[in-house]
Chain A
Amino acid sequence: MNHSPDGAADPKPESGQTTQSEISAEAQSLIAALAQQSRLLRFDDDPYGYPVCLESLAREE
């Protein structure tokens, strides 16, 4: 039952185009995007962690 319609034993050739610089560029762009958000964080933000915050945002049952 494990056969694929397009052949599990013969997958498409894997990428040879990705370079370490492309991967590093991705990480750097993420870090840059995050920096804009991080500036919004204040010293006392999120003192008890996300689960406590989530509970406080829920309406009464």
Chain B
Amino acid sequence: MTIRTVIPFVWKVWRVKSDPALLTLVEASSALADGSLTSQALVEACLDRIRVWQPARNAFIAVNAQDAIETARERDTERRNGYIRGPLHGIPLAHKDMFYRKGAVSTGGSRIRRDWKADCTATVLTRLDDAGAIDLGRLNMSEFAAYATGENPHYGHCHNAYAQGFIAGGSSSGSGTAIAARLAYGALGSDTGGSIRVPASANGIVGLKPTYGRVSRYGALPRSWTLDHVGPMARTAADCALMLSVIAGKDPLDPTTSSRAAPSFERFRTSNAGDMVVGYADPDRLEIAPEVAAVYETTLRQIKALKVPIRPVQMPDFAPMFNVAEVIIKSEAASLHRQWFESRAEDYFRPVHNRLAAGFEIPAVDYIDAVRLRSRLASEFVHTVFAGVDIVLLPTLSVPVPRISDVDISASHTQMRHLLGGLTKYTRPFNLLGFPALSMPAGFTESGLPCGVQLIGRPYEEFSILSFADYILSKNNLCECVPKLSILV
């Protein structure tokens, strides 16, 4: 054994002994398999941390403590009897409160659905259940997945894992905070304009928006069916790859899913990140804050130091893509919400209501034009940007993580639009194009909060970007950073 292998091994043993919640999903799975931990121990470790962190961060809307412990005991008995359900057997996860489970409440972060019970189960939950995962509870989110800051007046704002008083990012706010704070080993999020990648960046974790059609949306609360994506959020790229291998694949209940087989975790294990060519945008041509630029440039230097083939690429203007996506989101969301918009207007968070309102003023022909433009823009991007590279590197957020007080909703609609546009400037275009995109930790800004970078892959090449993220993260150890509850800013 070399020093490079001894140190991670000792670090893992220490975590198993001191706090199993500090393990990654893949490590926890391995500890269950070799008998060094039980599923009940994992669940109790997560619940212990939830008790301490929840009052300060509010990542959960509801915790299924008793159910989770009972299920863990069942999984342990099954394992002792030689029955393993799947690759997530006995692993505690938690999910954004928008994935339906038949007979259970699913609020969508809204007042309107506070007591609403689902009449079906989301395919992604069924697949995780079948793989043996345990559901710890329902995670906080922006109302109806409609807001990139993650604020929620109905269930309380979810705070950033690294510092109370700062946004968690949204709309999968609870997923970002819970995973960074080690309250669960993995979570599902949804992403219509950046809702997985924004909280992943803000909380220093890995969040993957897969290719459009890769993962079923059946039983997931819709926001904009053309741009909605469901994906994993976890501490490492390997954890996301394992979750993706379980949830991806054709679903007869969602006709938009691709017939391509789900990528196997073994394939991720054998991918060679060193062979890939990385394209990047010239930092001087990006509209990003200096602190974000510094982190982005540091990442570029790290990649170059590893002798990975990397070259600058001329990026298209992202603003038109952003606007095309906005037309689609607003039009589809207005249609979905029309009934409640008229009958229960007072039950919406006012900024969410305002965002919906503009959708009713967009003519049908403009909406259809926007949908048709999607193919043209996707083709152009592949034939220009991806002509000579396998992966594209971009910032995730264009600004440092703001304080909750800086996104005060008493600001005008125009001010809020400007802020939200800044948060999703470089994420939303890839919902329109439908290409796989992930955010991975890249460093910290002056306030001590995480700052991520985005990797974008060609259609269906999730494992290219996950493998590359895994390679970079194995060199900089940013996945080992654990936020401290005592940090109050």
Contacts and interface: CB of A to CB of B under 8 A. Distances in A.
Interface in A9-50: 11-20, 22-24, 26-28, 30-31, 33-38, 40-41, 45-46, 49-50
A7 B151 CA distance: 12
Say which size band chain B's interface belongs to: 35 or more
B374 A34 contact: no
Contacts of A17: 410-413
A57 B155 contact: no
Nearest to B50: A1
Nearest to A36: B320
Contacts of B330: 27, 30
A6 B378 contact: no
A15 B320 contact: no
Contacts of B357: 20, 23
B417 A6 contact: no
A57 B458 contact: yes
A4 B164 CA distance: 11
Contacts of A4: 58, 155-157
B300 to A, nearest CB: 25
B298 to A, nearest CB: 31
B333 to A, nearest CB: 13
A51 B373 CA distance: 13
A30 B61 CA distance: 35
Contact of B459 (A23, A33, A54): A54
Chain A CB within 10 Å, residue with most, of B211, B373, B375: B375
Contacts of A23: 354, 357-358, 361, 413
B164 A5 contact: yes
Interface string B253-286: 0001010100000000000000000000000000
13 contacts: A3-B55, A19-B413, A33-B319, A34-B370, A37-B320, A37-B324, A41-B373, A45-B375, A50-B226, A53-B379, A54-B211, A54-B434, A58-B461
Interface of A: 1-8, 11-20, 22-24, 26-28, 30-31, 33-38, 40-41, 45-46, 49-51, 53-55, 57-59, 61
